[in-house]
A and B are shown apart, each in its own frame.
Chain A
């Protein structure tokens, strides 16, 4: 059949079972939007307030659901506005497809209005970026974009389509939904070597990253932990794989992680790292990380092996198959001496419980009042660390955060995407700094009746950077004080949402329970004390013995 380029795009989206796209219109996607309006393929378009919100929503949709998020933006500023979101998805290995309009092929290279070389611009932040110059290649290019995005280590792919190609006509042949390329199986001999080393361990540790979530192998990690006598710690990207209450789970390791987890990694004699790229935020000083351990590193991406931490045994390929095989070979046992050591470590590094309206108490109460499957997004800063440490996730993948790229302003878009994907309530835990960056997306949730509950842990400033100024600049604070000048509850109401301001546990719980059934967004401005730090922390390139605690911070805070 003969179709226009825009119709071909929508046909392929339907082929890939795309039901929702997030986007923002513009001159060079006019034809595509005209076809979206006709809605012949039943694809819902969610108009965001800004292209950045759209790309984060597509990212959140991918993370929370089973499909691949799709974002549409126009040329020039539309395209540049999605670059941060693509980088965010790329850093965290999130599959998504970005479709941008471009100036007509006859105008390419003339510096015309809203022209930019989007394919080049996004090279460093995508798995692949296509520029479609021939309508005959459009359908296959779109299918390739979906295939590449989800094959091997997932990631974002961009397709830039000139406006005249969107309007041109070409024959189109329908096809089946593309399947991701299957990863190669890990060699049996390597798995046997890994099992032999792991079985010899007297202090075995498992360290998991986001690869465990993406490969849907959290249940296998649990089996391995429960069979082997090992303890487990997670990078921020992996924490939703297991609930905090599990007796073998030491929680998040790393710079702002739990010191017991860091200490256990430092003491381990064998470390099995699964689906992690050993981010510097997770390892700190590379020389000191797992300094007593032989390391087994398992990842679908061979390029991650040996990139940061050299491994004694490298396993690359399909994680599910490798873990299933490893579980069969691992001896079933308990290691009482290691358990005793861990108990001592946990006692030594136990965190002091504080009274009052603290982030820890808020997050623990939030957890009690929320179903296990509700996706929880965060922005970036102290609230992100508190959520990672204190919110006990029971559904793998329910934690959405910008772990690798650290994008402030990620959360509101992601929470919208997560709510659309799961067709229910989603939570955003944010800070006053991060929320201010993209809070206009509340209007998106209002217009589309998307039930996002926003908790602003409002400490009147850019808390994380303020904390770093306290720690590393002798308390000289600069440009980090926001002074509680914004009334987020009033602002939410001005945008058509429900808004509340709370400053004690009782009122918070009452408001949260009352607003759970809201059909649209709710913003709860939680006025917490400025002095609450995300501590203890390990300074950049430091080790567990270099940790900074409350007592180490100057009195100015």
Chain B
């Protein structure tokens, strides 16, 4: 298990955080911290620190990227 930091850029949609946290939970990651900032009325930036299998890093980025409101998902540090 490793700690991974991910940065997301997303449409600032209702229930966005719920969708992100549910996806992380579904894929076996535990959330340690979560930071949310509205960039504009339509866009948001989210920083999330999670604990999970390091072998699944690339996969979780792809899983988050396919969420409908996510514009980009990047690994910041692990």
Contacts and interface: CB of A to CB of B under 8 A. Distances in A.
Nearest to B62: A303
Contacts of A302: 62, 65-66
B19 A303 contact: no
Given A119-B15, A148-B68, A303 B26 contact: no
Which DSSP category, helix, strand, loop or mixed, fits chain B's interface?
A: helix
Contacts of B58: 306
Contacts of A153: 66
B15 A303 contact: no
Nearest to A302: B62
A167 to B, nearest CB: 22
B59 interface: yes
A534 to B, nearest CB: 31
Interface in B57-77: 58-59, 62-63, 65-66, 68
Interface residues of B, number: 13
A23 B29 CA distance: 36
A123 B18 CA distance: 8
Nearest to B64: A303
A123 B68 CA distance: 12
A124 interface: yes
A128 B65 CA distance: 14
Given A120-B18, A123-B18, A123-B22, A128 B68 contact: yes
Contacts of A307: 59, 62
Interface residues of A, number: 16
A119 B58 CA distance: 28
A305 interface: yes
A152 B66 CA distance: 10
A127 interface: yes
B65 A127 contact: no
A131 interface: yes
A123 B19 contact: yes
A301 interface: yes
Contacts of A128: 68
A123 B16 CA distance: 11
B68 A124 contact: no
Nearest to B21: A123
A148 B69 CA distance: 11
Interface in A139-163: 148, 152-153
Contacts of B26: 124
Contacts of A127: 68
A131 B15 contact: yes
A301 B22 contact: no
Given A124-B26, A131-B15, A305 B68 contact: no
Nearest to A308: B59
Interface string A118-138: 011001100110010000000
A119 B18 CA distance: 10
Nearest to A305: B62
B18 to A, nearest CB: 7
Nearest to B58: A306
A474 B46 CA distance: 53
Contacts of B65: 302-303
Interface in B31-78: 58-59, 62-63, 65-66, 68
Given A303-B62, A303-B63, A307-B62, 12 more contacts: A123-B18, A123-B19, A123-B22, A124-B22, A128-B68, A131-B14, A152-B66, A301-B66, A302-B66, A303-B59, A305-B62, A306-B59
Interface of B: 14-15, 18-19, 22, 26, 58-59, 62-63, 65-66, 68
18 contacts: A119-B15, A120-B18, A123-B18, A123-B19, A124-B26, A127-B68, A128-B68, A131-B14, A131-B15, A153-B66, A301-B66, A303-B62, A303-B63, A306-B58, A306-B59, A306-B62, A307-B59, A307-B62
